[in-house]
Amino acid sequence: MTRPTTPRAPTIAQLLDEYQQFADLLGSLEAAAWNRPTRCSTWHVCDIAGHVVGQAVETVSGTIGTRSPDEQAASLRHLPPSTLALQLLDARVKMAGLAATLDDSAWERPSLLPDFTIGQGMHSLVADTFIHADDIRNALGRPSATGPALYTSIDFILGRLSRDKAALADPDVAPLLLLPPESITQVTGLDPHEFLLAATGRRDATSLGLPTRINIFRS
């Protein structure tokens, strides 16, 4: 089962927009918020920021995949929000230049991330940045963002699950995997944001009436 290829131009545009919004979010943080705990296990706000920025920097430098998310977080968590915002904006400029060199053929080539094409890797960056921004907003009691990146993130989740043998074999999961992300509410009855939280382990899937295999981070 294969989902349609992620379109190149819209995905790149969304990634650049998400990086801008994440940098703006970091720029809005007060010092007291930096060490606030989040729903991401042992991570605080500074750890999420360090991971997202570290991941962006490593992507444009061609070193992505050489460090774990925890290592990315540990290397940058000591820096202030304003510094990380500037690093992300610098990576955003470099990402725009890198993306301009990609054509549709390059989009389908293997990336430095195992089992991901370059296009799937870019798709994952949109989802990761959007979801982690939501983690920070949640920690601060701010409302969640909406918009196209929400559905792009769901599309990424469904794509991951469509390459997951256990999910494919689950009769409660498999029918969802070729759905347009905008159809999730119509089919499941769930708010798309709630679906995204369950599919990334941030909400208990069963409490929402979803099978446990919908969680891409399940053990």
Q: How many other β-carbons are positioned within 10 Å of the β-carbon of residue 199?
A: 27
Domain ranges of the chain: 8-118, 146-218
Calculate the alpha carbon distances from 155 to 101, 135, 178, 183 in Å. 25, 19, 9, 11
Is residue 30 predicted with pLDDT exceeding 80?
yes
At 44, is the secondary structure helix, strand, or coil?
strand
Q: How many other β-carbons are positioned within 10 Å of the β-carbon of residue 62?
A: 10
pLDDT given for residue 75 in this prediction:
97
**What is the spatial distance between Cα 87 and Cα 83, in angstroms, rounded to a whole number?**
6
Per residue in 111-143, pLDDT tens? 998 889 999 999 999 999 999 999 999 999 999
Q: pTM for the whole thing?
A: 0.96
Per residue in 38-50, pLDDT tens? 999 899 999 999 9
pLDDT given for residue 1 in this prediction:
63
CB 205 within 8 A of CB 214: yes
- CATH for the 8-118 domain, from 2.30.30.90, 3.30.70.3270, 1.20.120.450, 3.40.50.720: 1.20.120.450
